[in-house]
Structure 1
Amino acid sequence: MPLPFLTADRGFDTDEDVALPFDDHDQWRRPYRPGPWRVAAAAVALLLASFMLLATMIIAFAGAPSAAIVCFVLAALVVVCALRMLRVGTWVSRHGLRRVAFFRTTTLPWAQTTDVRTVQQPVRWLGLPRTVQGQALVAVRKGGEQLALLTDHNADFLARVEAFDRAADTVEAWSAEYGASS
């Protein structure tokens, strides 16, 4: 079964020096791999869901179908949450930028962006309320409002400075390619 989110930065594994390594620029792609913190959290959630499904089966064989249905629904909810956790991040295409959060997705067409740049600013550590000094890739809208796309302290780039720099450069390359032409 192909897992396209794991092959997102396949262009960096080759010797080619291509900023936009994908053939189909109309398809939404994440220009980096999900980080180990995000993958580990999703794996733990899926492990919990497997135990919940085992409990569902035991409850169903014990003769309590209503409790088994409740347990199954909760396990399905944990699986959906784990899959959504893996989708979180910044996605790019010819049409614009898409920032996918856990509960919300924001799409910003290239025509509405004036600049995409890396800035030094306080950023959230693993999405928690605690802030630390770090780098953030921000997209500046035409009204001057900034949208933080990536930070070097989120679940994808914590302790992976080179991966953050590579992802920021790739998103900036997409912006240079499609932002100026829109």
Structure 2
Amino acid sequence: MPLPFLTADRAFDDAAKDAALPFDDRDHWRRPYRPGPWRVAASAVLLLLASYVLVAAVIIAFAGALPGAGICVGVAVLVICAAIRLLRVGTWVSALGLRHVTFLRTRTVPWARVASVRTIQQPVRWLGLPRTVQGQALMLVRLDRPADERATLLTDRGADFLARRTAFDRAADTIEVWADEYRRTA
């Protein structure tokens, strides 16, 4: 089974270094970076938990308590869906716009509504927790919102880029290039 979220960096590595947007099909939504080890590890733990719950469901079903087995299967399906959603979290780009996917919500902004996308130095949340540390953030400023109301797309202390400084720089630069190119054409 192909896992397209794992091939994002390979497209940049294989493409020519001078090509800013190395993808042929730009209408396809893609995340221009790989999910980080913290995000993958959390998803793997959730999938491991789901496998234990499914084994428990089989044992309960063999014991003859089918309603309990059904509840266990339902819980396992919810945990599997949470693991998959956790892997999909991030910033996605296409020729249509910029899509910011969080665990519970997805926001899509067409390029025509994007005022700017830039990297700034500011206090950011460490691994999404309430604790803040000094770091870099990729910020989205929209045309239809006040300039002081910015959305944080990526941080260098998040689950995708903790201890991966060059990956954050490459992802931020790539998203900025997509924004610069498609804001001109929108």
Q: TM-score range by the shorter chain?
A: over 0.9
Quote the offset at 1:5 in angstroms.
Answer: 0.6
Structure 1 moving runs of 4+ over 6 Å:
none
The TM-score, its normalising length taken from structure 2, stands at 0.95
Count of aligned pairs? 182
Quote the offset at 1:9 in angstroms.
Answer: 2.2
The aligned runs of 1:1-182 (5 Å cut-off) are: 1-14=1-14, 16-17=16-17, 18-142=19-143, 143=145, 144=147, 145-182=149-186
Quote the offset at 1:181 in angstroms.
Answer: 1.5
The TM-score, its normalising length taken from structure 1, stands at 0.98
Quote the offset at 1:15 in angstroms.
Answer: 5.4
Unmatched segments (≥5 aa) in structure 2: none
Q: Is the 8 A contact 1:125 1:131 kept in 2?
A: yes
SS, match of residue 32 in structure 1: coil
Quote the offset at 1:12 in angstroms.
Answer: 2.3
Q: Which deviations, in whole Å up to 9, do the C-alpha atoms of 1:20-55 show, x marking residues without a partner?
A: 111110011000000000000000100010011000
Identity over aligned residues, as a percent? 66
SS, match of residue 2 in structure 2: coil
Q: Is the 8 A contact 2:122 2:137 kept in 1?
A: yes
Aligned CA RMSD, in angstroms, stands at 0.9
Quote the offset at 1:177 in angstroms.
Answer: 1.0
CA distance in 2 between partners of 1:14 and 1:64 (Å)? 54
Unmatched segments (≥5 aa) in structure 1: none
